[in-house]
Amino acid sequence: MSRAASAILALALALAVFFVDQGFKRLIEVSMRLGESTPLIPQVLRLTHTRNEGGAFGILGGQSGVLLLGSAVAVAFVLWILLKATPTRATTSGCGLILGGAAGNLLDRLSAGEVTDFLDLEFWPLQQWPVFNAADVAIVLGAAILLLDSFRSEKASRRSAEGDRQDQEPSADGG
């Protein structure tokens, strides 16, 4: 895949994630009162309308400047990966998911100073997991894809280096 095709696909995925995330957030905001909760999948997942002025899990609440700067740095880093790394499906997918999720939460922070969260896990051991949103899911999934791909790439590089060393060693029969 060419670098240009990879960038276009990643941006298309980012836009799709962004619009899905924003659509769900607006739907929750107009159909549920703040604090309202309703089962989506009984004993597994609830829709719970909350607002979060902090980052992931509510950390850095009230530190909007730090959160905005962190978001900008993260987006710049992901764009750098997208433009510098060897274009693969994993890199394209991971970067697109992260960019779309980051853009969705960033828009909320810039427009309202907080994000709308609505996905609430209720099965053990995640009963006490903080409420999150579609953008958060995309960011975590994208990061996991990039991380797994980096491990796979590192393993392939080691195998290639070991193969090169074996090719350079003289054979036992003197050849």
> For 96-133, what is each residue's pLDDT tens digit?
999 999 999 989 988 988 899 999 998 877 677 889 99
Q: Using the CB atoms, write b or e for 22-42: b if 16+ within 10 Å.
A: bebbeebeeebeeeebeeeee
Give yes or no: 117 in active site.
yes
What's the per-residue H, E or C state across 83-129?
HHCCCCHHHHHHHHHHHHHHHHHHHHHHHHCCEEEEEEECCCCCCCC
Average pLDDT over residues 75-93: 89
pTM value is 0.82
Strand order in the sheet with 45-52: 37-41, 45-52, 115-121
- Nearest alpha-carbon partner for 89 in 153, 15, 160, 155: 153
Measured distance between the N- and C-terminal CA atoms of the chain, rounded to whole angstroms: 40
Is 136 an active-site residue?
yes
Q: Give the position of tokens 């003197």.
A: 174
Banded model confidence at residue 148, pLDDT cuts 50, 70, 90? very high
- Answer yes or no: are the C-beta atoms of 133 and 21 closer than 8 Å: yes
Count of beta carbons in the 10 Å neighbourhood of residue 152: 12
Among 117, 120, 164, 173, which one carries the catalytic annotation?
117
Q: Which of the following is catalytic: 21, 108, 120, 136?
A: 136
The predicted model gives 147-170 an average pLDDT of: 69
For residue 132, list its beta bridge partners: 119
